[in-house]
Structure formats: structure tokens, C-alpha cells
Structure 1
Amino acid sequence: MPILAPDLHLVDFTDTAPSDLQTQVTAAIDQANTFLDKLQPINADTSTSVKSISAAQALTDVMTFDHINLALDRSWGILSHLNSVMSNDDIRHVHHELLPKLSAYGTRVGQHQPLFMRYKTIVNDEAFLATLEPARARAIELALQSFELSGVALPKAEQDEFAAIQSQLSTLSATFSDNILDATQAYALPLKEEQLAGLTDSGLDLLADAGKQYKASALEKGTLTQAEVDALPTQYYVATLNIPVYIAVMTHADNRELRETLYRAYVTRASEFDEHTNAKGLSLNNADIMGQILQLREQKAHLLGFANYAEVSLSTKMADSVPEVEAFLRNLAAQATPTAEQDLAQLQDSAKDYGISDLQAWDSAYIAEKVKQDKFSLSQEEIRPYFPLPKVIDGLFAIVERLYGITVKEQQHEDNHSENAASRWHDEVRFYQLFDEKNQLVGGFYFDLFARSGKRGGAWMSSFQSRYTHEEQGYQQLPVCFMVGNFTPALDGKPSLLTHDEVLTLFHEFGHGLHHLLTQVTVGDVAGVNGVEWDAVELPSQFMENWAWDAEGIALISSHVETGEPLPKDKLDALLAAKNFQSGMQTLRQIEFALFDLLIHSHTPALDYDGILSTLNGVRSDVAIMQTPDYNRFANGFSHIFAGGYAAGYYSYKWAELLSADAFSKFEEEGIFNPITGKAFRETILSVGGSLPAKTNFENFRGRGASIDALLRHSGFNDNHPNDKAAS
């Protein structure tokens, strides 16, 4: 069993009480502020009489401040992570109480003239700047850009206004996220026997497990007495809005009324149609919050001299302008529409066989599954037993070993208090160490893959700790990250059995993880995913999904949970044949989200809630081909743009998909397990992180600029407009 290296600096999660983390965060901010207080004003122009310092001394000060901030990155990173995966009233209270302090500190740093002038001193000394390693020079370039976007050049009154805006935005975004989580977990629908028709065994297991949780929660909250709980059936089925349960019902339930009921509940979460309240009795409706966020973002943009917030967002991305992104999205929509229309016609025709003459949103997943079974003889449930999570994980590790020469080893954790055990925040969590071809430790990562109460929905990689070295202090840390999912948990003594969609999600997040872990950059601000333009950061993750669509890759990640038999050839052929099933409609859906995001953030004046809904309806009128119910309030749960980092950047998924498809086409040309090509991808993309512009990294790998051809081919659109080409 590999020994845990001290350079991993792992967290003792048994000693992370919210109050302790609050103390640590506050102390870290105080320490950093003390340093800023003592930082003497200078002038970067040596021709003036104001005191100046050498570029070397300026860099020393910058690096010292970076090192001081490690304590804040760590304590706040832990608290933020726990608020996402183990949220409770105590954690949430401390997290939210600290947000204004964090915001104020971040604004102070971004507007701190003595610190800013040290960066200017470095770049003004061109001879000195030329001696720096590229990663350090890039970090300084990005820091100066960040200063400008933090209002460093604003008059004092406007700086104060900027700080107030930042503080309000951080609080509003956290409340938005809370409302979604609370609304999701507040919903529970006990089911009758006649509503269960069509549900698979695994789906019924999920509903029964939700039933057990429902009983326990009702007892704890006092909404049911023990006698009332005892009177309920032993096998009690409850539908919830947690994704594994929701998907199970929407995909397989024969009862159309049940599907519509659950659909309506899901798409109206945190809206005016949602009557749930939080623990304080407050409404969960996000409507006003959305309008306030847009208004504040617009104010921030105007203070910085931009016409709208979309321009602020794009100033740090690969894409140059709002018109460029909009043209990219609308062009891709035009490419996808013919295929999408065929997709819809196929569903509508099949729906008639099930007595549905007017196909609705709550029918699409159900009918799509029927079409898959009929056209491809493919059922997600039939292939689920061939993707037990332990086998998928082992196969995933085998694939990256063949590609990059790296080895993954699980750190056992029978005793959480053992000297050689990795502490965890939940029993389901697993910790792994990553070794290179010379058996040198590269970094570590945690898997937290199952849905549970108190955990934010979706899947993500959190780049908790970056690769970083501070030679003067003799300090080194290796990268560590959290990879989080909401998969179907293990039930009835069997391991978790994944759908192929869940397999793709695991590969996606692991691609992010590799980007973070395999970096050779030791300047934290541009190590791993740090400093990578947002519209390129999805490249490695979407790229990794390709191996879950390849026959040789699938052979490594699949075997029947009971017999160990490989995925039969007929099922493999069906799975691969169905790769582009409904790809047209899925692409238009992503474009709908991306275009909506872009338009609401480029609109001046800022939109209120009615304007937000009107814009969404307009986008649907432009690009969607299937009618959406009037009550659909998807936007009220759009956490990516209102509570995440994707504001005016959701297009990044499609932009990066173009890059990833084109990158993978090199493997298609040279062999998808070609170690030379894998080494090139690792060295030009994964290892360099944000130390070079993403465009440069891509061209270094591909030998040219990006082309849309591979994306159209991979999506099955290449026959729609065969002569239409574009590059990002």
C-alpha cells in the first residue's frame, strides 16, 4: 500500500468543524490583510521622484503574498467543498456568513495599488521579464488583467461601489444555489401500485430507497408519527427530484400522468409555482434574485467601461466578441436542425404506437427509450449490469495508463484514524494516488460519486489544491482534487451499476481531473486548470469521453456484474450505432441554453424576470423544434450561470467540444491508444495548464488552428451542409 506523501497535504476531515473552518478563514484573511497593510506604495515608473523598487524585489513581494494566500485557499476550499457535498444548517450558515468577508477581501486585493504597482514594475522591466519562466510571465499577465477587471483604475467612490456589488453578487448566488438544493430535496411523491408500471428493477430499488429516507425524514421532522410510519407498506415507493430517481421515472414509467407531474415539479423548482419554503420559512422563488444578479452584473460592467456583462466575461476567453459567439451558436444550430427535425419526427411517429398523438416534453425520454429498444435493440437497463462501477473505474485507469503512462492506486481507508489513511468526509468517498511512468507521485484525488441528501446535484471536478512550489520557503505541494457525481448508489448488496450516460459523466470529470493533476507547472495561478480560458477548459473533459465510445475502450470498462462476461457484440454494436441518436435535438437544447445565457448578459438595460422569460421564449422560437410548456421555468434552476462560473460562458461547452472533437481526430488518424499521440496531448495540453494561451496549446498539439469538421462528423451532421466549414 503506497504511503501518503507529505507533499499531498491531505485534509483531516474528522477535524473540520464549521466553526473551526470559520476561525481559519478569518485568520487567513487577517494575515493577508496585515501583509497588504505593510506593503509600501511605490511607483513603477523609475523616472519619478516617488519611491521605486527593483523588478526582482517586486517579484519577491508578489510571491510572498501568493504564499500567504495558501492558508485562505485551503480553509475556504474545504468549507466550500463541504457546503456542496455535505450541506447542513451549520455548514451553510458559516459559509454564507463568510461570503461578504471573502468578497471584501477579494475586492481589496484586486484594487490594491501597492500590490498592483509591483506587477507593473515587473512588466515595465522588459529585460527582467524576459528572464522569467513562461508560466511566471503568463501568471503576471493574467494578474494584471484581473486587476483591471477588479476596478484597480477606478476612482475611490466607484471602487467602493464595485466592492458593494461584488459582495451582493456573492450572497445572491449562494442563495440561488441554496434555493435549488432546498426545492429539490423538499419534493417527495409517494406512489401507488398502479403508478409503478414500466419501471425497471433498478428504478424500483431507487424509489424504495427514497421511500426509506422519506419515512426517516418524516419521523425526524414530526410530519408523521411512528404509528403512521409503521402503517405504511414495508416496500414504500417515493418519487423525488434527485437525478437518478427523476431519470428512472421519466425514462421508464408507463404512467404518463406521473411523468408529467414529476416533470412539472422539476422544471418549476425555485419558481413562482414552487410553494416550498426553506428552514426559515422563506420562499424558494429565485425570480427576483435572477433580476438582481443581472442588474448588478450590468452595473459592474459599466463601471469597468464595458457595454454589458457579456463583454466582461468574454474579455478573458478565447472567443473575441458577442457577435462571434452568437454567430458560432446560430451556425451550429443551422447545421443541427435538419438532423433534429428527423429526430423529432422519429419520436412523434413512435409515440403514436403508445397512444400519444401530441408528444410533450415529459414523453421524450420515455419514447426515446422505446425507439432505442426498437431500432437498436438497446435498453439502458439491459446494459447497466455490464457497467458495474468498480469495473468502469478499473478500466478508466487502464485507459489512461495506456495513453499517458500513468498509474492510479487506491489508498485503503479501513481505519480513518490510521497514520496511513486518507481521511474522508463520507463513508462512500474513495481516495487515490496518481504515479507517473517512473513511479513518482504526481498527485491525489477523491471520488465522491453517489447521490445523497445534502449534496448539490450534477457532477463536477473541484481543483482544491494546485501544484505549487515556493523554493525560498522550501515548500512544495502536489495537486489534489475532488471529483464529484450523483450516480445511482449501490443497492441490495450489488455495486453501483451505471448507465452509459453515467459512464460518460465519469470519463468527463476524470478528464478535468487529469488536466488538474498532470500539470508540470509549479506556479499555482496557471497550474492545471488555473488560468485556462473558460471556453477551453472543457476540452480535456469532453476529449476523455471519446474512449467510452470506442469498442476497445468499452471492452476495458465493461463486464457483467454477476457473470463477468463482456458486453455482448450485439449490445456493443447497438450502443455504438446509437451514439448519435437524438444528437440533433440534444445539440439544439445546448445551443438554446447557451444563446439564452449570452443574450440575457448582453442585453442593456438589464432584464427583469419577465424580460428573462421573454428572452428564453424568443430563443426557443429561434432554435427549438419541440414546444416547451408555458410553465417551464428552467432558468430558475440554471445554476451554471446564476450560481456558477458560466455567466455569458455557457457556450463554452460547445466551443470546447469543437476543440475536443478536432483533437481526438488526431488519435483517430494515428491510433486511439497511440502512446506517442497520447504523450503529445499530455505535453501540449494537459501538462502546460494555463501557462500558455489555450489557442497556442491547441495549435501546438494539432499543428494548425481548430476546424469544425470533426465536430460535425462526430455529431452526425456532416451530410447536412458538407461544404460549410468554420474554425474557432
Structure 2
Amino acid sequence: MAHDTDPASSSARSTSAPEPIDLPGAGDWLAWVGERCEGQLGEARRCVEQVKTGSSDAHEVLAAWNRAETALANAASVALWAEVHPDAAVRDRADELDQEVQRYVTELGLDRDLYAVFDAVSTGPGAEALDDDARRVLEHTLRDFRRAGVDRDEATRDRLRELSETAVRLSQDFGRNIRDDVRSVRVAPERLAGLPDDYRAGHAPDADGLVTITTDYPDLVPFMTFGSDAEVRRELALAQHNVAWPANDQVLQDLLAVRRETAALLGYDSWPDYDTEVKMIGSGQAVADFIERISDAAVERAREEVAVLLERKRVDHPDAEVVHAHDSRYYSELVRREQYDVDGQVVRTYFPFESVRQGLLDVTGRLFGLEWTPVPQSVAGTWHPDVASFDVGLDGRRIGRIHLDLHPREGKFKHAAQFDMVTGVAGVQLPEGVLVCNFSRGLMEHDEVVTLFHEFGHLVHHVLGGQGEWARFSGVATEWDFVEAPSQMLEEWAWDADVLATFARDASGSTIPAELVAAMRRADHFGKGTYAAQQMSYAARSYYFHAGPHDDLTAYGDELQRRYSVFPPLEGAHMHCAFGHLDGYSSGYYTYMWSLVIAKDLFSAFDAADLFAADVATAYRDKVLAMGGRKDAADLVADFLGRPYSFDSWAAWLAE
């Protein structure tokens, strides 16, 4: 088995460029995961001791702390293997190790001796000579100690420690229950009416003459878009929204209670107040206000769109009185086909997966000046044959490595996200990131193409932002309600006719017609109101579930759905059990719409007639993405735009 060198040690820094880590490939992953995590955790402990017993010079203390944070980030990346590794034993071991890492993180935050070192450093020798980045590291570190409860009495610190360990276990349980629970419906083949030929060909009847449709995205998305059988759509939606129910109902209640108690012990009025203190939005009340602001802006348009959907539904069902969420995708597709001349089944023929993946690399390479060099699996040593790896080059030098794990399988993370494998630190270790998605191997829906561009934006951010000195600000290390903005902006390139013409071709080799893309853009404007309203219903669940206790999360979630969405709740559904963002984003699901507001503002700097203009693309790359977390997000945006961010571009987009 190949072993990685110890990148966090002081001896690892050299004049030679760092190499990607060695993954075991066909070797012993169970041993490697343990050795990688425990070795890096041990290195973090050694570096922390250097902080506590070494020099009192500010820069030397921070340098030792940087080595500790680098090693700790490496150890924490073990969580990736719990989400993607095909061996359940490796996934379970990764969960165990992640608990150990998080336990140590908690200990560090409550370590008064360690805090005393940084407190003394802030006014001690060398503090005045620190540059802006080092001073920012120090300020954020002191803030972290305060938010961890280091200044609380011993009994409170002990309870905070218990709560942290409990929260880690509950979070793992919540995610595991979602990951391991693939549900399905079995239907007669004729009930696949409306589905594309390739979909029906890939879903042959079993020995009982029935077809199985699962809640995995390659099954779910096409059926909800094209399947004309309304009852099957309802059954499939119910299966999707009942993933991890009833198990996650109590898990979530327990997790919410832990978060509420943690915030109270730390002196905050609510978990959202604690959570937002380090975000752009600034306070829990600001989240509630934002939800109302977006809802008020979108509600009229959303109701108009639902009226259009209801009118179309009544063509099929004359007595229909309501449009359900599981109707919306199907009837939106029909409206776009009949009123905007956009047939999704025709559109998807231009997006075979392999062509889209290569096109994405070509587009982002041209836009950001990056080179993507394929790395053979025998060299990359990846964990599954589906994984494709690429070295990332800029100006002729390798600056990172990415791994694309894009198809579903048993035991794998069920949604779409970017995971850190290695945190980039200049001269020490190359950034490596993993894109985890669940796309079909055949034709893709255009909205899946948009999703792929979006998620890839996180990967680009991770690599470009991973070139600095400080682990603390490496990669996507900005405020958490900004992290989606760069990815949402990259979606714009998946809507441009000239961009799509570079890779969107059907089986005959014909390029997607510009007039079809123009129609797609016009059709895309339909549904913006319902999208914004539905997003606010999710954001409201995220916020209000955390703002106070609720005995029945299903009933309260349905109440919020009726208040903010234009689609009624699905009877018998318990969607909060499958709503994975309630873990990672906790009370902050508003982030997606908040980031969209900023993304539209960022995009306003680009020339729609030339999306590859080098001056603006390079400025964006260098002033926003490459900065990682070295400045507050608002300052990064202002540096690029030459002004503070505003709602104007988003409001104009909504009104189009």
C-alpha cells in the first residue's frame, strides 16, 4: 500500500513543488484511511504543543498554528470516505474517525492554556508587524475560542463538550439514514408513458412484469419531468420525501435540541443568532427578514405561474383545483413545450454525459486559464472505477488535482456536493477536491447540466483559493452564506448559446441550435416565481426549526409550506427527514437565495456578448476565487465590482 508523506510537518516545506497524496487504489483502504487520519491527527497534536510551549513571537506562534490547522484539516477530510467509499466497513471506520477528529476540535476550542497563548500574542512581541492575512488569522482564532465557550466556567465547558460530541454522532446518523435509504415504486411498464425511449429501455420489467423506479436522481428526475402518470408521480414523490422516515424524525429533534442548548450556554438568544454571527447576513432576525423580503417579491409572480400550470393541468383533469409540487415539474415541462416551443426530450439529446463533462472542462479551462490533464486511475489510486481524476494546471504549473465521482451507487452520498480531500497550502500541499454527484451515464436533462456547472464551481473555488499560505483561508473559506454565489454565477455559462455550441451535440453530431437555446432561456423565465417561493419554504423550515422547539416537525413543516410555498404539502410526507441540508446548513438554507442575489450582481460585470472576455474573467478569478477567505465576502465582491453588492440585478432577473 502506498503512503502519503506528512505534508503538515515543518520538514515537508521545500523548494520543490508538492505532490498529490497517494491513494491506495486497489490496496487496503481500511488501513489507509485509519493511518491517514490518525497520522494527521497526531501531527496536529504535536504542532499544538509547539504553539503552547514554543516561542512567544506572534509570527512563530501563528506559523505553528498554521501547521496544526493544516494537519487537522487533513484529518477532518476523513468524512469524505464515509460518503463515497463503496466498502461499508470503510464508511463506518470513517465515521468513527470523524468523531475522534471532532472530539479533538472541541477540546482545542475549550483549551484555556491554548487560548491564553493567542490572547497574549495579540498584544505581545511581533503583533504589530503581522501582515493583514496573519492578523486576520489571529482575530478569527480568538473569535473561534470565544464561540467555543473557552471563557465559560468548568461545568459549562464540560456540558459544551458533551453536546459537541452528541451533535457529531447525531449528524452522522442523520446523513447515514438518508444515504442508506433508497426507496422505490414498482409499476407496470405501460405506466412509463411519456418517458424517453432510453429511459424505458433502461427499465425493463422484472420476473413479475413490473418496473422498479427508485428515488435516486437518474430515476427520479426524468420521471417527475416526463412521466404522464400522475399517480405514479405522487407515489414517487411520497417515497422521495419519506426517505429516512421515521428514523430521522427523532434524530433531528435531538440535534435541534443540542443546538438550542449549545447556543443558550454560549449566551445567544437562539441557534440562528449563534449561526449567523459569522455569516454575511449577521443575525437570526436578518434571516427572517430576508425570507419575508424574497417571499413578498416573488409571491405575485409565483401565483401567476401556478395559475398557468393549473390551466394546463385542467386539459388533462378538468376538475383539478390545485397544482401539487409533484405536478409542477411535469406541467412546467408541458407549458415550456407548448407555449415556448421547448421540448425537454429534444433538448436532452444534445447532452450526452461524456460530452457534457468534457465541455465543462473546456469551458472552465478557457474561462479561468486552467489546464485539465487526465490522471490514469493507476496513478490516481481512486476508490471506484467511476472516478475520473485530473491535474489542474495554471501558467504551466500544477496547482491541484480534482476527482469527479458523478454516478450513483449503493451507499454513496445521494445528492450533489464538493468535498475537500486536501486543503491547499502554498509550498506544503496541493489542494485536492472531489465532486460527488448522481447523474445518468447517458443523456442529461439541461437542468442537470446546470447543476454540474454549479457544483464544479465549488471545485474551481477550492483549487484556486488553495494557493495561499494560511490553511484557515484556503479554498471555499469565506462566510458560508457566500459560498454558493460563485457556483451560481457559473451556471450562466450553461445557458449561453455560444458556450453550449462548443459541446452540446446530438447523436448525429449536430450542434444545439441557437434558436433552441434562445427558446430555452425564454422558457426558463417561467417558474422563477414558484422557484423563489419554494426556496423560501425550505429556508423557513431551516430557520424556524432552529429558532424554537416544535413537538411535531411534520405538522410545523406543512404549516411553513402553506405559508411560503404556492404548492400545498404532500399528505403523508415527512420531507424534513430527507432534507440533508438541515444538518450541514443547519439554520442557514437561506444561503442559496442570498448567494443568488450576489451571483446575479457578480454576473452583471460580464459582457453577455463575450462571456470569455479575458480582462473581466481574470479579474474575477484573482479578486474573488483565488482569495479564498483572506477578506470578508462583501469586500471581495466590492473589490471585483468596484462597489458594494446590491439587490438590483436579482430584482431585474426576477422581473424578466
TM-score, normalised via structure 1 length: 0.83
In structure 1, give the amino acid aligned to 2:547. S
Give the deviation of 1:524 after TM superposition: 1.2
1:334 and 2:299 correspond:
no
**Residue of structure 1 equivalent to 2:226:** 252
Q: Aligned ranges for residues 9-408 of structure 1 at < 5 Å?
A: 9-33=21-45, 36=48, 40=52, 54-56=56-58, 59-68=59-68, 70-77=70-77, 79-125=78-124, 128-184=126-182, 187-208=183-204, 231=207, 237-272=211-246, 285-355=247-317, 357-358=320-321, 359-408=323-372
In structure 2, give the amino acid aligned to 1:387. F
Which stretch has the larger CA shift, 81-90 or 291-300? 81-90
**Residue of structure 2 equivalent to 1:451:** 408
**Residue of structure 1 equivalent to 2:430:** 478
In structure 1, give the amino acid aligned to 2:312. S
**Residue of structure 2 equivalent to 1:47:** none
In structure 2, give the amino acid aligned to 1:456. F
- Taking a change above 3 Å as real, the CA distance of residues 23 and 595 of structure 1, as seen in their structure-2 partners, is same
The answer as to whether partners of 2:81 and 2:94 remain within 8 angstroms in 1 is: no
The answer as to whether partners of 1:599 and 1:615 remain within 8 angstroms in 2 is: no
Q: Take 1:22 and 1:8, find their aligned partners in 2: how far apart are those partners?
A: 19
- Taking a change above 3 Å as real, the CA distance of residues 205 and 16 of structure 1, as seen in their structure-2 partners, is farther
Give the deviation of 1:701 after TM superposition: 0.7
| Aligned with residue 525 of structure 1, among 468, 472, 482 | 472
Count of aligned pairs: 638
Give the deviation of 1:619 after TM superposition: 2.2
In structure 2, give the amino acid aligned to 1:17. W
- Taking a change above 3 Å as real, the CA distance of residues 480 and 25 of structure 1, as seen in their structure-2 partners, is closer
**Residue of structure 2 equivalent to 1:429:** 387
Identity %: 26
Matched residue SS, 2:291: helix
Q: Take 1:130 and 1:662, find their aligned partners in 2: how far apart are those partners?
A: 37
Q: Take 2:105 and 2:432, find their aligned partners in 1: how far apart are those partners?
A: 23
The answer as to whether partners of 2:18 and 2:428 remain within 8 angstroms in 1 is: no
Give the deviation of 1:143 after TM superposition: 1.6
- Taking a change above 3 Å as real, the CA distance of residues 393 and 298 of structure 1, as seen in their structure-2 partners, is same
* Cα-to-partner distance string for 1:523-560 (whole Å, 9 max, x where unaligned): 11101112x10011111101100111112222223111
The answer as to whether partners of 2:424 and 2:430 remain within 8 angstroms in 1 is: yes
| Aligned with residue 449 of structure 2, among 503, 506, 511 | 503
Q: Take 1:188 and 1:328, find their aligned partners in 2: how far apart are those partners?
A: 37
The answer as to whether partners of 1:592 and 1:623 remain within 8 angstroms in 2 is: yes
The answer as to whether partners of 2:224 and 2:329 remain within 8 angstroms in 1 is: yes
Q: Take 1:632 and 1:89, find their aligned partners in 2: how far apart are those partners?
A: 29
Q: Take 2:43 and 2:429, find their aligned partners in 1: how far apart are those partners?
A: 21
- Taking a change above 3 Å as real, the CA distance of residues 714 and 554 of structure 1, as seen in their structure-2 partners, is farther
**Residue of structure 1 equivalent to 2:526:** 581
Q: Take 2:499 and 2:72, find their aligned partners in 1: how far apart are those partners?
A: 41
1:598 and 2:556 correspond:
no
In structure 2, give the amino acid aligned to 1:301. A
**Residue of structure 1 equivalent to 2:497:** 551
**Residue of structure 2 equivalent to 1:709:** 648
The answer as to whether partners of 2:83 and 2:91 remain within 8 angstroms in 1 is: no
**Residue of structure 2 equivalent to 1:225:** none
Q: Take 1:10 and 1:378, find their aligned partners in 2: how far apart are those partners?
A: 47
Q: Take 1:237 and 1:522, find their aligned partners in 2: how far apart are those partners?
A: 54
- Taking a change above 3 Å as real, the CA distance of residues 522 and 15 of structure 1, as seen in their structure-2 partners, is farther
Q: Take 1:497 and 1:393, find their aligned partners in 2: how far apart are those partners?
A: 12
Give the deviation of 1:424 after TM superposition: 1.4
**Residue of structure 2 equivalent to 1:48:** none
TM-score, normalised via structure 2 length: 0.92
Give the deviation of 1:72 after TM superposition: 4.8
Q: Take 1:616 and 1:327, find their aligned partners in 2: how far apart are those partners?
A: 19
* Cα-to-partner distance string for 1:495-530 (whole Å, 9 max, x where unaligned): x32211111111111111111111242211101112
In structure 2, give the amino acid aligned to 1:261. E
1:648 and 2:587 correspond:
yes
* Cα-to-partner distance string for 1:408-450 (whole Å, 9 max, x where unaligned): 222234xx2xxxx2211111111112222x2121211011111
* Cα-to-partner distance string for 1:318-366 (whole Å, 9 max, x where unaligned): 1122222222221111111111111101110001111251333332222
The answer as to whether partners of 1:463 and 1:481 remain within 8 angstroms in 2 is: yes
- Taking a change above 3 Å as real, the CA distance of residues 76 and 693 of structure 1, as seen in their structure-2 partners, is closer
**Residue of structure 2 equivalent to 1:687:** 626
Give the deviation of 1:18 after TM superposition: 2.2
Q: Take 1:596 and 1:239, find their aligned partners in 2: how far apart are those partners?
A: 28
| Aligned with residue 412 of structure 1, among 360, 376, 386 | 376
Q: Take 1:323 and 1:260, find their aligned partners in 2: how far apart are those partners?
A: 36
Give the deviation of 1:568 after TM superposition: 2.1
Which stretch has the larger CA shift, 619-628 or 154-163? 619-628
Which stretch has the larger CA shift, 322-331 or 540-549? 322-331
Give the deviation of 1:20 after TM superposition: 4.1
Q: Aligned ranges for residues 2-13 of structure 1 at < 5 Å?
A: 6-13=18-25
Give the deviation of 1:75 after TM superposition: 4.7
Give the deviation of 1:688 after TM superposition: 0.7
Q: Aligned ranges for residues 630-669 of structure 1 at < 5 Å?
A: 630-642=571-583, 644=584, 646-668=585-607
Q: Take 2:326 and 2:476, find their aligned partners in 1: how far apart are those partners?
A: 37
Matched residue SS, 2:392: strand
Give the deviation of 1:40 after TM superposition: 4.8
Q: Take 2:540 and 2:453, find their aligned partners in 1: how far apart are those partners?
A: 26
**Residue of structure 2 equivalent to 1:487:** 439
- Taking a change above 3 Å as real, the CA distance of residues 238 and 617 of structure 1, as seen in their structure-2 partners, is closer
The answer as to whether partners of 1:240 and 1:246 remain within 8 angstroms in 2 is: yes
Q: Take 2:522 and 2:609, find their aligned partners in 1: how far apart are those partners?
A: 23
Q: Take 1:38 and 1:399, find their aligned partners in 2: how far apart are those partners?
A: 45
* Cα-to-partner distance string for 1:196-242 (whole Å, 9 max, x where unaligned): 2222113224434xx7xxx8xxxxxxxxxxxxxxx556xx6311111
In structure 1, give the amino acid aligned to 2:526. F
1:613 and 2:572 correspond:
no
- Taking a change above 3 Å as real, the CA distance of residues 257 and 308 of structure 1, as seen in their structure-2 partners, is same
Q: Take 1:119 and 1:670, find their aligned partners in 2: how far apart are those partners?
A: 51
Matched residue SS, 2:96: helix
Q: Take 1:597 and 1:691, find their aligned partners in 2: how far apart are those partners?
A: 28
- Taking a change above 3 Å as real, the CA distance of residues 401 and 265 of structure 1, as seen in their structure-2 partners, is closer
Structure 2: tracts of 5 or more residues without a match: 1-15
Matched residue SS, 2:373: strand
* Cα-to-partner distance string for 1:687-710 (whole Å, 9 max, x where unaligned): 111011111111111111111111
In structure 1, give the amino acid aligned to 2:533. L
The answer as to whether partners of 2:81 and 2:91 remain within 8 angstroms in 1 is: no
In structure 2, give the amino acid aligned to 1:238. T
Q: Take 1:304 and 1:335, find their aligned partners in 2: how far apart are those partners?
A: 36
* Cα-to-partner distance string for 1:91-137 (whole Å, 9 max, x where unaligned): 23323333442232111111122322222233224x83343332222
The answer as to whether partners of 2:184 and 2:236 remain within 8 angstroms in 1 is: no
Matched residue SS, 1:464: strand
- Taking a change above 3 Å as real, the CA distance of residues 696 and 353 of structure 1, as seen in their structure-2 partners, is same
Q: Take 1:38 and 1:663, find their aligned partners in 2: how far apart are those partners?
A: 42
